[in-house]
Amino acid sequence: MEEFASTADICRFTRWRKRTFPAATPPLKDPGSDEWVEDTEAKQELLFRTFTNPGVPAEDQLEPPNAFPSTLPFPDITRHEVRQSVLETPSTAPGMDGIPVSLLKVAWPLVEDRVFHLFCACLKLGHHPDSFRKARVVVLSKPGDRDRSTPRSYRPISLLSTLGKGLERLVARRLSYVGLEHGIFGSQQFGALPRRSAVDLTSCLVRDVDFQFRNLRVASLLTLDIQGAYDAIFPGRLRRRLAEQGWPKPLVDWVFSFASDRSVALTLDGHQSRMFKAQRGLPQGSPISPVLFLLYTAPLHHLALRSSSFGYVDDVALLARGTSVEDTVQDLAADVETLLTWAKENAVSFDPKKSELLHFTRKRRPGTQVNPGISLPATADRPAWAIDAVPRDGCVRWLGVWFDRGMTFIQHIRRAKSKALGCAGTIQGMGRMMRGTAPRVLQRVVRAAILPIFLYASSTWWPVPDAKHHRAGGRTILQATTQVLRAAGKAVLPVWRTSPTAAILREAGLPTAHSLLQYHSASKGLSLKDLMKELLDLDHYDGYTILESISVFTPMSQQLVPVSSLRVNM
């Protein structure tokens, strides 16, 4: 530990406490025939059929969309972009060619011109080389308590050519920038886009619900999951969607070439399968796949709905507002009908088993019914939908944050505290009195491993003390933060169990709970201040609400200055 050179080294070391030895994949149950599959090759074929469709289905649109004009710009790429997209990336596992990023960095002076002309030719001709479309797919088990005998409990991760990923990363950055500048993405569509993180989305949701609480109203949140996500995208439909949005034809052709005729070899339990041909789906592990998925589902967030729609890649949420939960449920039911119709027209589907409904209210009687659910009758096109509301004392986990009925975040804080204390206990064993690790090293470990676990999405759940209408549970949050900081301080220093908390924090170089939370709140406020113009252009008021409620600590004046008072050039 004394030789750690970066925070990444510390994080990799602290993961050893979670390390588990890989176990053989259990027998899988074929959902089509209800037969059990035990042979490794048979498992690989079953997983491949689950992840993607081997043939080209009839609902894919293969005819070239020539009737749509190109209205969006896509300038020629530069050498700086090529170098940045290929070399300035973290070292990841290489693809089928076995060429790592470190080798490209050494050989870059010799291959730069050829790589630049290759990328230019690919985008000009609308062709993605076949060698870049070959992937070694590693099958990983999804986290959580799942039934390991079902194929849907596993996730395919594609290991692609590092050179090909450089081209994909370059195009992904261009698509993100142009799509945001010209309003192609929805205003509430987050994930895989610059300056639109999951924490930003959860913060927007919380501010919306807080606004309803201040006006003595209620809100209802319905979370939906697009089944299959990347695996459900058809190349022909994707090409048509990009053409409808106005992207240049060579770029549209390149995307179609990227998504078509892919070759994959599945690695399961250390055994690599034969090459399979995939005619649909976007590879998980490619930098451009999330952006293409967002572009394909962008029209969903432009639909005329009664409620507000939030999207984070394949996670969709609807927030309905009203004076009673009956009104919000009625609005959500109508919006679900609209979404299901759109999904059928675009060859995607929502998984009803992963849908959850939570009512936000602080009223004892928010309506005639205390906790109503959503029920849709069966039609000729789909089965019946029935979504029960989460119990009044329950909570919903969305984008890593546990939301409860009263927006107190007590359940989230308890879970985060438990994880942080477990990590602190592991690190505390390294700081023995006689032969332990030096405190200066453990202090870096604490800041890199323990505090981020507890402070995830702190701008979402931390109530600003000087706000008029702050959320309940502030005292609980401060107490939990103090417990985590005390455990972190004991991990840094070999102190007595009865040592005062203030002395432990001072000697360990850690702030108090209030100072720590205010610092992260101010940091989020500064990032939102830089985005003030973009937030005020969105179709909701939350950006300005966040800016008004967050204060920034300025060391020069030793005062708290409201972020909204800081000038921004627009």
pLDDT tens for 72-126 read 999 999 999 999 999 987 777 888 888 899 999 999 999 999 999 999 999 999 9
Query: So what's the pLDDT on residue 542?
Result: 40
Burial class (CB in 10 A: 0-12, 13-18, 19+), 391: exposed
Burial class (CB in 10 A: 0-12, 13-18, 19+), 16: exposed
Closest CA to 194 of 561, 450, 534: 534
DSSP annotation of 73 reads -
Q: 543 Cβ partners below 8 Å, 6+ apart? A: 204, 528, 531, 532, 534, 535, 536
Helix then strand then coil, in percent of the chain rounded to 5, is 45, 15, 40
> What is the token pair recorded at 213?
């609480």
Q: At what angle do helices 101-125 and 162-181 cross, to 10 degrees?
A: 50
Pairing mode, if any, of strands 276-278 and 262-268? antiparallel
Query: So what's the pLDDT on residue 7?
Result: 58
In degrees and rounded to multiples of 5, residue 53 shows phi and psi of -95, 120
What parts of the chain have a pLDDT lower than 70? 1-23, 53-65, 365-369, 430-436, 463-473, 525-570
pLDDT tens for 117-153 read 999 999 999 999 999 999 998 888 887 777 888 888 8
Query: So what's the pLDDT on residue 530?
Result: 54
Query: So what's the pLDDT on residue 427?
Result: 80
Taking each continuous run of H as one helix and of E as one strand, the counts in the chain are 19, 18
Tell me the domains of the chain and their CATH numbers.
26-188+231-295 (no CATH), 198-227+297-396 (3.30.70), 408-565 (no CATH)
Query: So what's the pLDDT on residue 20?
Result: 53
pTM: 0.84
